[in-house]
Amino acid sequence: MSSIYIHWPFCLSKCYYCDFNSIPQTGKINFIQWYRLYCNVLTEFKRRFYKNEDITSVYFGGGTPSLLPVWFISDFIDNVQKEFRLTPDAEITLEVNPKTIDKIKAMELKEAGVNRLSIGVQSIIDEDLKMLGRIHTSEEAKRCVFDMREVFSNISIDMIYNRPNQKIATWEEELIQVLNFPINHISAYELIVEDNTKIKKMIDSGNVKSPSDSDEFFKKTLKIMQNTGFDMYEVSNFAKDGALASSVCGGGPVWFNIQVYHAAPPPIPYGRHNISYWKYEDYYGVGPGSHSRVSVNNKKIAIEQPQDSAKWMIWGENPIFNEEPLSEDDEFKERVIMGLRFKGGINLNKFTESAKNKYDIKNKLKSLEENSYIITDDEYVALTYSGIMKLNLVIRYLTKE
Ligand SMILES: C[S@@+](CC[C@H](N)C(=O)[O-])C[C@H]1O[C@@H](n2cnc3c(N)ncnc32)[C@H](O)[C@@H]1O
Ligand code: SF4
């Protein structure tokens, strides 16, 4: 089982907090040429690594892939279907900026095979949207979600919290309001102030306040989600699943209902594509700066593509992968970092015996369990509520030799 990620690097303009590999779109884009290059790279993945396994999700991310013409997305999905074993119920997600879509385009995208949207709302306070450098108003974001819901049943939104000058009480109100939108999934990210972003300069120059460094926003977010029936199945991701919402990571009434999180495929509205990352399954990434993890003889290989769009276009004419086999240590650490964020936890059987011994896993798990940071059985280990609050500490402890 694998997935495919497509990175479209252009946006209408650069948001002040964003350090993703994205640049404002200037001038005319030759979509035909870009399309040919994406297919080239995908073909090379097929030739080099594809083992005829099922492809269970395709994710158009960016940047702003909702700026792509519908034919591009439609033909790309057709191409994946032709060249790979795309499962009939595959999750096909498109990231959407509210300013770049209307109902007609949405209907065409649905026709093309897209079945899930992830809409960047970020905030529904106009003043804050301006401060974040977003190009849409609160009303436009809200209208976008409601319009899209008339076309798609599977809708996620992105929100950012712990913003400069934000008060916890206003976040509470804002979050409760957006949870009443017709959505079944939400990604709520705590703002990361990245170097070389405009927001960093605004903070450094004293124009806006630094975000709070306590975990009060995160705790409040968790509580509201739980009370409104959204299940936190990853640190920043919540699926509307009232039955499971009260089982906060490993601390709920019935352990963490592990079978739900490891079902193949995970039930809607859980984000299948991201779950495959946290479970450390293979994925083929295509586009400037995209990453891939592919298995060869049960060992993971990392592949990174040129970041710069112009360089990527030259590279994509005759793509030769820069393959970096991961060492046992790298793979162990990545599994821990990805898996611990996930409510389904880490499958211990995926660790090699030598890694388990080297990192003294048995004793460390025993000590973490005694301190109520994890819950574990012979097969899986997942964080409890207290463990989630100490995520980085637990990761450091487990990955230290
Ligand atoms: C590629 S963008 C999503 C789609 C589209 N580009 C948009 O912004 O509308 C991925 C998401 O990451 C989140 N994000 C980006 N930079 C962030 C930062 N510095 N701190 C927290 N969240 C961030 C935002 O919520 C954003 O919607
Ligand atoms: S947050 Fe989204 S729209 Fe804004 S610059 Fe980053 S990728 Fe582009």
Digit-coded pLDDT (tens) for 92-144: 999 999 999 999 999 999 999 999 999 999 999 999 999 999 999 999 999 99
Site of tokens 């495959």: 276
Q: What is the spatial distance between Cα 390 and Cα 101, in angstroms, rounded to a whole number? A: 39
Regarding the beta carbon of 97 and ligand 2, being less than 6 Å apart is answered yes
Taking CA atoms only, the protein residue closest to ligand 2 atom 7 is 63
Ligand 2 centre from 15 Cα, in Å? 5
Nearest atom of ligand 1 to the alpha carbon of 120: 9
Contact 302, 324 (CB under 8 A): yes
Taking CA atoms only, the protein residue closest to ligand 1 atom 24 is 158
**Residue 161: CB atoms within 10 Å:** 21
What CATH number was assigned to the domain covering residues 2-228+268-278?
Answer: 3.20.20.70
Q: Please compute the mean of the pLDDT values over residues 389-397 and round it to a whole number.
A: 97
User: What single-letter amino acid sits at 174?
Assistant: E
Ligand 1 centre from 376 Cα, in Å? 33
What confidence tier does 161 reach under pLDDT thresholds 50, 70, 90?
very high
Taking CA atoms only, the protein residue closest to ligand 2 atom 4 is 15
What confidence tier does 251 reach under pLDDT thresholds 50, 70, 90?
low
Range with lowest mean pLDDT among 86-90, 255-259, 298-302, 315-319: 255-259
Nearest atom of ligand 2 to the alpha carbon of 97: 3
Q: What is the spatial distance between Cα 274 and Cα 254, in angstroms, rounded to a whole number? A: 24
Regarding the beta carbon of 198 and ligand 2, being less than 6 Å apart is answered no
Taking CA atoms only, the protein residue closest to ligand 1 atom 16 is 18
Cis omega before residue 266 (within 30°)? no
Regarding the beta carbon of 118 and ligand 2, being less than 6 Å apart is answered no
Q: What is the spatial distance between Cα 12 and Cα 25, in angstroms, rounded to a whole number? A: 6
What confidence tier does 156 reach under pLDDT thresholds 50, 70, 90?
very high
- Residue 45 corresponds to which tokens in the numbers above? 């993945």
Q: What is the spatial distance between Cα 47 and Cα 44, in angstroms, rounded to a whole number? A: 5
Query: Given this model, what pLDDT does residue 243 score?
Result: 79
Query: Given this model, what pLDDT does residue 378 score?
Result: 83
Q: What is the spatial distance between Cα 250 and Cα 261, in angstroms, rounded to a whole number? A: 13
Query: Given this model, what pLDDT does residue 250 score?
Result: 61
Helices (H) and strands (E) in the chain — how many of each?
17, 17
Query: Given this model, what pLDDT does residue 389 score?
Result: 94
- Residue 122 corresponds to which tokens in the numbers above? 């970020």
Taking CA atoms only, the protein residue closest to ligand 2 atom 2 is 63
Sheet order of strands, 185-190 included:
230-234, 237-240, 185-190, 155-161, 116-122, 85-96, 54-62, 2-8, 282-286, 291-296, 299-304, 323-325
**What rounded mean pLDDT belongs to the chain?**
95
Ligand 1 centre from 18 Cα, in Å? 7
Show Cβ contacts of residue 275 under 8 Å, excluding neighbours closer than 6 positions: 233, 261, 266, 342, 344
- Residue 175 corresponds to which tokens in the numbers above? 């979050």
Beta-bridge partners for 92: 58
Taking CA atoms only, the protein residue closest to ligand 1 atom 1 is 62
Query: Given this model, what pLDDT does residue 245 score?
Result: 81
The separation between CA 4 and the C-alpha centre of its own chain, rounded to angstroms, equals 13
User: What single-letter amino acid sits at 275?
Assistant: I
Residue 32 burial by CB count (10 A; 0-12/13-18/19+): exposed, middle or buried?
exposed
Q: What is the spatial distance between Cα 7 and Cα 363, in angstroms, rounded to a whole number? A: 41
Tell if the pTM clears 0.95, that is, is over it. Answer: yes
Q: What is the spatial distance between Cα 105 and Cα 100, in angstroms, rounded to a whole number? A: 9
**What is the dihedral sign for C-alpha 76, 91, 299, 233?**
positive
Range with lowest mean pLDDT among 55-64, 177-186, 246-255, 285-294: 246-255
Question: Per-residue pLDDT for 254 more than 60?
Answer: no
Ligand 1 centre from 296 Cα, in Å? 32
Contact 368, 259 (CB under 8 A): no
Ligand 2 centre from 94 Cα, in Å? 14
Residues with CB under 6 A from ligand 1: 17-18, 20, 61-62, 64, 95, 97, 120, 122, 158, 160, 189, 191-192, 194
The residue whose CB lies within 8 Å of the most ligand 2 atoms, and thus the one to mutate among 12, 19, 22, is 22
Nearest atom of ligand 1 to the alpha carbon of 97: 9
**Residue 33: CB atoms within 10 Å:** 11
Q: What is the spatial distance between Cα 25 and Cα 135, in angstroms, rounded to a whole number? A: 14
Cα dihedral 348, 354, 356, 362 in deg (nearest 10): 120
Nearest atom of ligand 1 to the alpha carbon of 193: 19
Show Cβ contacts of residue 88 under 8 Å, excluding neighbours closer than 6 positions: none
Q: Of the ligands numbered here, which is closest to the C-alpha atom of 95?
A: 1
| pLDDT > 70 in the chain, percent | 98
Q: What is the spatial distance between Cα 226 and Cα 247, in angstroms, rounded to a whole number? A: 8
Q: Which helix (H) or strand (E) holds 117?
A: strand 116-122
Q: Which helix (H) or strand (E) holds 3?
A: strand 2-8
Nearest atom of ligand 2 to the alpha carbon of 14: 5
Ligand 2 centre from 64 Cα, in Å? 7
Regarding the beta carbon of 100 and ligand 2, being less than 6 Å apart is answered no
Contact 150, 103 (CB under 8 A): yes
Q: Which residues of 346-367 are buried (b: 16+ CB within 10 A; e: fewer)?
A: bbbeebeeebeeebebeebbee
